[in-house]
Structure 1
């Protein structure tokens, strides 16, 4: 084999130094070398490596740091809990104050509600008495509807007398005595072509009642009287009060249960041989419910203020 020509590499004098450990360069030297070779060395400096020789000292320092942190955290928690306790105590005092005042307000409101209900009953009773007095002053009046304007004012008594005689033929003509008869003002809601009502006052009350009964059962009436309708002359308050019983009266008529009106305004219902007196619309609906008579539609009513009920418990101090 041919020997390569060139410079001869000298042999190491001591081969044992080849296996000796290299000294670790310090941080400054390593940084200097990294700067010289452009930072291409992949070896990281061991700057955070633990010092096994100082291990007990490190544990003491760590324990001291943890104790200091726990003391600070505990102080902060205690301060927060103290502040929160003060807020809760203040809130409890305010809640107790509000509850005490709410109890006072509840008592005052309930007293007012009781007074309002009592005053409503008194007002209703007074209105019924006034309307009854007004109706008593009209008890011998009759209201005729359907007399045309072609009948002159002077001829109205004679015209009505002839009509009443057709309704009560058994009563002598001289008993059908009219004290007065005249036209009344037309309500604004009626059309212009509608005829005005005629108000008449009869001298005898029993004749007036007989005329009303004959008007309900009239037969064989002449053509000139066919359009006439006869009603009792009642006050506006009484008519309004009767309209409040509309649901009850409609149900009674639907089931063919007889009834009549009493004074002051009340319903006298005859069912199974028994008379039931109803003084308020609520009593009428209650009676229908007891008789299992369904009401098609009920109107909404304005309810009286009801008493309050305490639905909370006072906070404990």
Structure 2
């Protein structure tokens, strides 16, 4: 190669080596100017990581960008879940409020039904007592007395001597079908008088005598009342004992009630709580109800084996024979 050509090629190489750095500087200056002119938001949105750039600053920016992305995602997901949970809680509270209103309405309706049912029970009890208006119950008359009509008629004439015979007809008279709890006691005698006013005269006369004439001292005459009325009166037993202890007169009413006077003030109560409140205000203590007599236990059967000859064997009594 001629010397002139070699000099020319060397000169061109030097010029290229000097122009390439200037070109990179110009490019970097233009990039810096563009980055300054753009907003930080646009820069953060448009800037993309260069996988080939391994300088510490670039790696730090990449780590920052990764943390920013992950934190944004970590905050966005729980926020949406919390919003959904809050909506579900709001819906649940609305349903609970609706259910509470429904329960209150049902509770009020049940209270109304309960009061109506109680009123109907009182009316039925009053109707049953009215149907027993002319009935009398005689307790303690021995079972050996079989002619009930003759015995009871003579008893009533002894109690009310001025009573006319035609005023004392019986519509029916019989023994109670059920046995008393104490098997040693006789069954009650239940009778229905044709005239209810005669029944009131007999009851009044029976209250004024200490013992009924012509019959054992165990015989007593009572009104024939509904079982529910008798149960209510048993519940009022402590109140009655307290009134009797204070010498206060009382009177049963229909429908069920208890009337009495304390220091000139009349009181009519229908429930035990009302009676207890009246006695508490009057400073009258309730009397504990004495325990009811226990029902006598039946004697156990003694099993005595019998041999073929009809005689009792020597096996101990109280045990069953072998089968």
Pairwise TM-score range, normalised by the shorter structure: 0.5 to 0.7
User: 1:281 maps to which residue?
Assistant: 272
1:127-174 CA-to-partner distances (Å, cap 9, x unmatched) read 22222222122112110011122111xx212212333344445x4463
Residue 219 of structure 1: which of 187, 210, 213 is its match?
210
Q: Answer yes or no: is the 8 Å Cα contact 1:260–1:269 preserved in 2.
A: yes
Residue 263 of structure 2: which of 248, 272, 288 is its match?
272
Distance 2:84 2:239 in 1: 58
User: May I ask how many residue pairs the two structures share in their alignment?
Assistant: 235
User: 1:161 maps to which residue?
Assistant: 153
Distance 1:166 1:247 in 2: 34
Please give the root-mean-square deviation of Cα atoms over the aligned residues, in Å. Answer: 3.4
Q: Answer yes or no: is the 8 Å Cα contact 2:212–2:220 preserved in 1.
A: no
SS at match of 2:99: helix
Closer/same/farther in 2, CA of residues 144 and 296 from structure 1, 3 Å limit: closer
Kindly indicate whether structure 1 or structure 2 has the higher relative contact order, using CA contacts under 8 Å at least 6 residues apart: 1
Distance 1:184 1:266 in 2: 29
Shift of 1:294: 4.9
Q: Which structure 2 segments of 5+ residues have no match?
A: 1-54, 290-323
Closer/same/farther in 2, CA of residues 262 and 85 from structure 1, 3 Å limit: same
Shift of 1:234: 1.1
TM-score for both structures, normalised by structure 1 = 0.61
SS at match of 1:226: coil
Closer/same/farther in 2, CA of residues 144 and 87 from structure 1, 3 Å limit: same
Distance 1:74 1:248 in 2: 84
1:90-121 CA-to-partner distances (Å, cap 9, x unmatched) read 22212211111111112222222222222222
Distance 1:74 1:188 in 2: 94
Residue 131 of structure 2: which of 131, 137, 140 is its match?
137
Closer/same/farther in 2, CA of residues 275 and 102 from structure 1, 3 Å limit: same
2:225 counterpart of 1:234? yes
Q: Answer yes or no: is the 8 Å Cα contact 2:262–2:282 preserved in 1.
A: no
SS at match of 1:225: coil
1:1-317 alignment, distance < 5 Å:
76-152=70-146, 155-168=147-160, 171-172=162-163, 174=165, 177-187=168-178, 190-219=181-210, 221=212, 224-246=215-237, 248-294=239-285
Q: Answer yes or no: is the 8 Å Cα contact 2:160–2:201 preserved in 1.
A: yes
Q: Which structure 1 segments of 5+ residues have no match?
A: 1-59, 299-317
